[in-house]
Amino acid sequence: MVLDPYLFFFLGGLTACLLLIPIFIQLAPRLGLVDHPAHRKIHVHAVPKSGGLALIFAILPASAIGLALFGNSMGYDEIRTIKTSFILGTTLLGFFLGLVDDIFDLRPRQKFLFQALLTGGFALLGFHFEILHLPGLKPFNLSFLNVPLTMFWMMAILNGFNFMDGIDGLAGSVTAVILLGLGGASTLASGHLPGGIWLSALGAIIAFLYFNRHPAKIYLGDSGSFALGTFAAASLVSLGHPGPDFLDFRQWGGRAHQEPFRFQLLSVTLLVGYPAIEAALSTFRRAVKRFSMGRSMEAAEQEHIHHILLKAGWSPLKICLSGVAVQLVLSAAGLLVMGRQNALAIWILLPLFIYMAYRAPRLGFFDFLQGATSKNQPHFKAANYFISMQKVKLQLAANREEVLALLSQTCQEFGVKSCRLVIRPDEQGLGGTDYLHEWDLDKPAEYLGFIHDTTKGPSRGFADRYKLSGGRGGAHWVFEPQTHEEDLDVEYHVLVSDFMRETLEAALRLGSQQPTLEVPSVAPLSHRKVSSHALRRTHKESREN
C-alpha cells in the first residue's frame, strides 16, 4: 500500500506532538516554562507553558521528512521549496521571540520592536500586499505603503493569536479551524501554499488540544502562540505568490504586482477573523483608556473576549465552541470571497454580525466606554497619580531601605496582604536583597482610602508575581481585592504589578556592589522618611556633596 503524502504530513505532526508533549511537560520546570497564577490569569495552579516547544519540534521535522520523501511527487520544484523554507524559517523566528518572552518576560515595547523587525524582514525580502482592493472601491496600488501595511497586518494577527490564548482549548481550537481554511485557500490560490506544512501544523495542534482541553495540562505559552500566529500570517500573505521577492533582484525596481486573487486583504483577514477581531477590540479599548483615563497602551488587562464571556458566566467549553463557530463562519466567508461568491459570503456573514451587534453590548464588551466617564474614573485617576508619584520617588531614593519603605507604603495603600521580594547576590556575593512583610489591611489608608471597602466582606487573596530577567530574583505578593467594582480591582492589580517591576529594578540598581540586605537588618520602614519633601532634600544634599 502506498501511503498518501498528505496523510503522512498530518499523521507525522499528530504523532510527533503526542509523543513530545509529555516530555516537555516534565521538562517545563527545569526550563523555567511554568505559568504561575497572577492577576491576569484565570487558572489557580501552576501549569507548564512549553506547548510551543512541542509544536515546533513536531511540525518542523514532520514537514522536513515529508518533503524529503514526497516533495517530487507533490510537485515541489526549487522555487516552491524555497518558499516553504522561508515560511518555516519566519515561523521559527516567531517561536524564538515567544520563547524569549516566556523565559525573560519582555516588556510590551520590546516585543513590538522585535515583531516589527520580524514582519518587516518578511515583507521586504519575502511577500507583501501590493494592491488594496475593497468591495465598492477601485483597486489602489499601495506603492511605498506595501511594506508598512503588511507589517501592521501581520503584527495585528500575531498579537491576536497571543491575546486569544487565555483559556483552555480556545487558541488551539480556533487555530485548527484557521488551518483548515488555509488549506482551502491554498487550493483556490492554485496550490501556491505548500499543502504539507499546514497539514503537519493541523495534526500537531489537534494532538496539543488533547492535553490542552479543560483542565489544561499544558499551555501554548508565547512561544506557541507567536509561532502559530507567525505561521498563519506569513502563509496568508504569501498566498498566490510562487516565491519570495529576494529570488529576483529585478523586482526591487518598483514593480507593480497584480492581486493574486480578488479582494486579497479582505479574504485573508476573514480567514484569521477571530484573532483579527481580538486584536482590533484590544487596540480600540486600550486607545480609549489611554485618552480618557491616561492609562498606558502597554498596560496589561483582563478584558479580552474570553475574559468577558467568563464574567458573563460562560463555561470554558462554551467559549471554545463559540470561538470555533465564529471562525468557521468567517473562514467560509473568506473562501467564498476568494471563489468570487460575494453575495453568498454576505448572506452568511450578515446573521453573525447582527448577532454580535446585539449580544456584544449586553455581554459587557463595551463596558469600558462607560467606565471611562463613570463616577469611578476619579478613583482610578487618583490611584494612577499616586503610583506615578511613587515611581518618581523611586528615582530619588538613595538606598534600598528607602525603596522598601516606598514599597511598604504602596502595598498598604493598595491592599496588598503580603509581599516577598528577593534579589539574588552576584558572583561576588553582593547586591542581594531579601524582604518579607505582611500588612494589616484593617489599618486605614492615608491617601487611597476609597480602595479599602470594608463592606465588601471576605474575599480570596489574588497571588501575583514578577521575575527579573537573567534569574536575578523577583517578587511575589498577595493582593486582597477591596472594592465592589471588579474592573477597578483589575486596574489596581495592574498598577501594583507595574510598580513592583520598577521597585525590583531600583533595588537591583541601588544594591550594586553593596552587602546583602535582609529584613532583620532594615530599620523600621517609616513612610515619613520617604515623603516627597524628605526625598527631594536628600537628593539635593547628595548632588551638592
Cβ partners under 8 Å of residue 543, min gap 6 = none
Per-residue pLDDT at 18: 97
Distance in angstroms (rounded) separating the CA atoms of residues 105 and 288: 26
C-alpha cell at 493: 492589580
Cα-Cα-Cα-Cα torsion 267, 273, 278, 279, nearest 10 degrees, comes to -20
- Give the up-direction half-sphere exposure of residue 254: CA atoms within 13 A in the CB hemisphere: 0
Q: Which residue has the cell 516588556?
A: 107
Cβ partners under 8 Å of residue 211, min gap 6 = 21, 25, 51, 217, 218
Distance in angstroms (rounded) separating the CA atoms of residues 421 and 506: 12
Per-residue pLDDT at 73: 76
User: 479 phi and psi, to 5 degrees?
Assistant: -100, 125
Amino acid at 249: F
Domains, the chain, in order of start with CATH, read 13-368 (no CATH), 377-544 (3.30.450)
What Cα–Cα distance (Å) separates residue 486 from each residue in 58, 303, 481?
A: 41, 11, 8
DSSP calls for 98-149: HHHHHHH---HHHHHHHHHHHHHHHHHHT----EE--TTS--EE-GGGHHHH
Q: What is the mean pLDDT of each run of 10 residues along the chain (545 residues)?
A: 78 96 94 74 75 96 89 77 90 96 88 96 92 89 92 97 93 97 86 72 96 92 96 93 67 55 93 97 86 68 86 90 97 95 94 93 80 58 85 88 89 87 87 86 75 59 76 83 60 83 90 80 58 62 58
Three-class DSSP category at 43: coil
Sign of CA dihedral 46, 319, 274, 10: positive
Q: Which residue has the cell 467606565?
A: 371
C-alpha cell at 83: 518558499
Q: Tell me the helices (H) and strands (E) count for the chain, helix number first.
A: 18, 9
Distance in angstroms (rounded) separating the CA atoms of residues 13 and 204: 5
Distance in angstroms (rounded) separating the CA atoms of residues 406 and 403: 5
> What b/e sequence results for 308-339 when a residue is b if at least 16 CB atoms lie within 10 Å of its CB, and e otherwise?
bbbeeebebeebbebbbebbbbbbbbbbbbbb
Per-residue pLDDT at 256: 45
Distance in angstroms (rounded) separating the CA atoms of residues 141 and 131: 5
Cβ partners under 8 Å of residue 68, min gap 6 = none
